[in-house]
Amino acid sequence: MRLPVIFRGLVACAFLMLCESLPAADESDSLGIKAPEGFEVSLFAGDELAHDIYSMTIDSHGRIVVAGAGYVKILHDDNKDGKADRATLFSSKPASGAHGMVFVGDDLICTGDNSLMKLRDKDGDGVADGEPEVWATLKHSEHGANGVVQGPDGWIYVACGNDAGVSAAHATLPTSPVKKPEAGAILRFSPDGKNSEIFAHGFRNIYDLDFNAHGQLFTVDSDGERDHHLPWYAPTRLFDVAEGMHHGWVLQGHQRSWNRPAYFPDVAPRLCEIGRGSPTGVVVYRHTQFPEAYRGNVFSCCWTLGKVYRFNLPLDVGRIPHIPREFLETTGDTGFAPVDLTVGPNGDLFVAVGGRGTRGSVFRIAWTMPEEPPDTRGDHLLTVLRAQQPQAAWSRRVWLAAANRVGREALVGAALDQKRPRAERLQAIEAVTEVFGALTSEEAAPILKNHD
C-alpha cells in the first residue's frame, strides 16, 4: 500500500530533525582513540610523513621532530592549522634510529648507533652539518640507551636499559652518585659532554624520563614479563628516581628476570605498580592549557596495551599510594602503539606512535576550553618566572635570553620573595641554577626556613 504524500513528507522531516539532533562524530571517534571529556584528539601527521617512529621531541623553534631508522625529520605545519604539511630531513643519522632526542639550541643530542651523540646544526638551517660528535659509547640494543632530557641544572640525562653497557667507566667524575652500576642506569652528562656521572641504577629497561617543577625525576621501568603470575614478578612501576640508589633490577639481558623485592630496605620505593605493559614515553605536563587537575601530572605511554596513563602526584609523592588513570586508549579497532610524548608551545600534548615496523603517526591532544595564557611580553622577569614547560627546548630559547637580560640579582630576589607564587619562585631558582650557578648557602637559608 502506498503511503499518502503528506505522511511521507512528515516522515522525511522527522528523519532530518533526528539526524540534526544526533551529536556529530568527532575526529577522536574516527581515529579510534578515546580521551576524557573536553579533550580533542586530531591527527597531526600520518605514516606518509614519518613511518615507524621511535622517538619524538620539539626543537627550539617549536617544530615537532621525529626519528626512526635512518631518519630524523622536522614536521612543518606551514599554515598553522594543527596538521603537518610536509617533512624535511634533519639527518640520516643515527642509522639505527634515535630512541631519545633533545635539542639544545639548534643542535640535537640523541642516542643511537651505539652511542650518545651530538648532531650540530651550525648555520641554523634545520639540517645537521658534518659528522656526529660522539659523547659516549652506549649499546643501542633492545634494552640499550633510550630517552634523553635536559635537566633543570642544564645537564643531559640519559635513560639506559640493562643492556646499554653502563659501567664504572661512565662515572668520570669523583662526584658520581654511583660508582659501580648494576643493570640499567640513568647517566648525566655535563653540557659540553666531557664529563659524566651515574645518577641512579638498578633498572630493567627504562625508556624515557622527565623532571617536574620541584626537580624530581620520574621514569617508568618495564616489567619482568616472563615471570608474570609468579611470586617474584615485578610489574611495570613508576619511580621518583632516588639519586645514588638502586631501584631493584639486578640482571643483564631481556630473557632473565630477577628484581629485589620492593620491601628490601636498600632499594628505592615504587610510587606505583602499574601491571603488565611496555612503558615508553614519559613527560611531565608543565603548561597551563590543560585544566588545573592535569598540571604537574606525569604522563606515560604503554606501547603494548595502547594506552597513555597519567599520574596526579602531590609534592610529597613518597607518602601515599598512587593509582594510574587512563588518559588515552584505543577503542579496540585501531592500532595505537604510543612511543613518545611531548608538549608544544600552545600546551597541546603530542603523542607519537610506531615501533617494530608499525604505522607511524603523531596525534595532537588539546583541551577545548583553554584559558588565556599569561601575557609576559615586555617583562623579561615574568618571561622567566612564568615560562611554560620550562625545560623544553622551545621554552628555554625564550626564557634563557630573558634571564640573561634581567641578571642574577633580580632572579635571586624573585626566589626570596615570599609574596610571589611558589611556581614563580621555583622557576627563579631553576633559572639561577642553570644560567648563573647555584644559590649560595646564604641565599638558600631563608628559602629552606620557609615551609611553603
Measured in degrees and rounded to the nearest 5, phi and psi for residue 352 equal -100, 140
Q: Which residues pair with 158 in a beta bridge?
A: 148, 187
Mean pLDDT computed over every residue of the chain: 91
Residue 441 in grid coordinates: 648557602
Contact 101, 145 (CB under 8 A): no
Residues 400-419 have pLDDT tens digits of 999 999 999 999 999 999 99
Calculate the dihedral angle through the C-alpha atoms of 267, 271, 272, 276, rounding to the nearest 10 degrees.
Answer: -40
Residue for grid cell 621555583:
426
Residue 142 in grid coordinates: 633492545
Residues 220-263 have pLDDT tens digits of 999 988 788 788 788 999 999 999 999 999 988 877 778 898 89
pLDDT at 27: 57
Which of 12-16, 18-22, 136-140 is the most confident on average? 136-140
Domain 34-367 -> CATH class: mainly beta
pLDDT at 333: 73
Residues 387-402 have pLDDT tens digits of 999 999 999 999 999 9
Is residue 147 within a helix (H) or strand (E), and if so which, with residue range? strand 145-150
Q: Is the dihedral of CA 195, 155, 349, 403 positive or negative?
A: negative
3-state SS assignment for residue 151 = coil
Residue for grid cell 599510594:
321
Domain with CATH 2.120.10.30 in the chain: 34-367
Q: Evaluate if residue 122 carries a pLDDT over 70.
A: yes
Residues 123-146 have pLDDT tens digits of 999 999 999 999 999 998 789 999
- Strands 196-203 vs 325-330: parallel, antiparallel or unpaired: unpaired
3-state SS, 154-212, equals CCEEEEECCCCCCCHHHCCCCCCCECCCCCEEEEEECCCCCCEEEEEEEECCCCCEEEC
Average pLDDT over residues 2-20: 42
pLDDT higher at 17 or 428: 428
Contact 73, 87 (CB under 8 A): yes
Provide the percentage of residues in the chain whose pLDDT is more than 70. Answer: 91
pLDDT at 28: 60
pLDDT at 23: 39
Residues 310-363 have pLDDT tens digits of 999 865 555 555 789 999 999 877 789 999 999 999 999 999 999 999 999 999
